[in-house]
């Protein structure tokens, strides 16, 4: 049973949890930071943020049982938003791992891989403001309602979704080192590569939209 519009920010001991919770509060949501799997399962909405290593994060998520809790809520139709590393983890596999290991298995909710940005002549990590270019799917996405095409948002990452991620789920693309999917959407599951909590007015609008998605599901008969 969902808990009265409460959005859980999942604490898997990786990253900027309080800034995400503050951003949600500013957007008018009731947010709680917790690592408790029962609280995650009872949430009206779930945000999986994070900055750090794919391998380390998946190690904690599996050891704590958060993997099953997260899959349960996503499969139950609970609105879910993955941010940066939280986006990466919902895919099948990531290449950010220890020497001698080629891939680390992710949650596998969506098919596709996460790979390192090829630096070339550009600096990696990709840090700072950059544009999101909405796809046709993105223009229909409730997370981006009122967000203009080409909006500037804040990135900080060295890995991104690879070319094997299906075009049907991609809502936005960004061009840095390569063209990569910077946002995805399938049913109740949303994910963004950038940090809406650090993205000024555009980011606040995205968090507000997510809070609205959660509220709408709560009042739906």
With beta carbons less than 8 A apart as the criterion, state whether 116 and 95 touch.
Answer: yes
Higher pLDDT, 171 or 1: 171
Please check whether residue 153 lies inside any domain of the structure: yes
Q: What is the per-residue pLDDT for 4?
A: 52
**Tens digit of each residue's pLDDT (9 = 90 or more) over 29-83:** 999 999 999 999 999 999 999 888 999 999 999 999 999 999 999 999 999 999 9
Q: Is residue 131 over pLDDT 50?
A: yes
Instruction: Provide the whole-model pTM.
Output: 0.95
The pLDDT score that the predictor gives to residue 73 is 97
**Quick one: pLDDT at residue 218?**
78
In CATH, what number is assigned to the domain containing residue 167?
3.40.50.880
Residue 2 has pLDDT above 70, yes or no: no
Q: Determine, yes or no, domain membership for 1.
A: no
pLDDT greater than 80 at residue 15: no
pLDDT of residue 77: 97
Enclosing domain of residue 131: 6-219
Q: Is 69 helix (H, G, I), strand (E, B) or coil?
A: helix
Q: Could you tell me the CA-to-CA distances from 11 to 45, 95, 120 in Å, in that order?
A: 14, 23, 34
pLDDT at 125: 94
Q: Structure tokens of 46?
A: 């779930």
DSSP three-state, residue 61: helix
The answer as to whether 143 is a domain residue is yes
Cα–Cα distances in Å, from 100 out to 57, 95, 97, 104?
18, 11, 8, 11
Output the pLDDT for position 1: 42
Q: What is the tally of structural domains in the chain?
A: 1
Q: Which residues are catalytic?
A: 84, 195, 197
As given in the structure block, the two tokens for residue 117 are 């940005």
Whether 172 is covered by a domain: the verdict is yes
- Nearest in space to 155 (alpha carbons), one of 191, 131, 123: 131
In this prediction, residue 51 carries a pLDDT of 81
pLDDT attached to residue 140: 98
Q: Is the predicted pLDDT of residue 3 greater than 80, yes or no?
A: no
Examine the pLDDT at 220 and tell me if it is beyond 80: no
Q: pLDDT tens digits for 70-125?
A: 999 999 999 999 999 999 999 999 998 888 778 999 999 999 999 999 878 889 99
Return the structure tokens found at 44.
């009206």
Tokens for 199? 């993205």
pLDDT band at 129 (very low <50, low <70, confident <90, very high): very high
Q: Which residue has the higher pLDDT, 9 or 15?
A: 9
Each residue's pLDDT tens digit, 163-217: 999 999 999 999 999 999 999 999 999 999 999 999 999 999 999 999 999 999 8
Task: Say if 158 falls within a structural domain.
Answer: yes
């Amino acid at each position: 049973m969902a808990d009265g519009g409460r959005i859980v920010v999942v604490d898997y001991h990786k990253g900027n949890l309080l800034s995400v919770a503050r951003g949600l509060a500013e957007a008018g949501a009731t947010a709680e930071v917790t690592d408790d799997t029962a609280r995650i399962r009872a949430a009206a909405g779930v945000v999986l943020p994070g900055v750090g290593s794919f391998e380390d994060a998946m190690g904690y998520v599996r050891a704590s049982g958060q993997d099953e809790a997260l899959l349960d809520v996503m499969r139950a139709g609970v609105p879910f938003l993955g941010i940066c590393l939280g986006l990466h983890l919902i895919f099948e596999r990531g290449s950010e791992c220890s020497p001698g290991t080629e891939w680390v298995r992710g949650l596998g909710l969506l098919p596709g891989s996460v790979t390192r940005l090829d630096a070339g002549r550009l600096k990696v990590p990709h840090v700072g403001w950059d544009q999101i270019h909405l796809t046709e799917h993105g223009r229909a996405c409730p997370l981006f309602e009122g967000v203009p095409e080409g909006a500037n948002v804040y990135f900080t990452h060295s890995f991104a979704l690879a070319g094997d991620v299906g075009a049907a789920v991609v809502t936005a693309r960004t061009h840095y080192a390569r063209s990569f999917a910077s946002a995805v959407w399938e049913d109740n599951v949303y994910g963004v590569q950038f940090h809406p909590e650090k993205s000024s007015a555009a980011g606040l609008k995205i968090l507000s939209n997510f809070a609205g998605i959660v509220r709408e599901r709560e009042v739906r008969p």
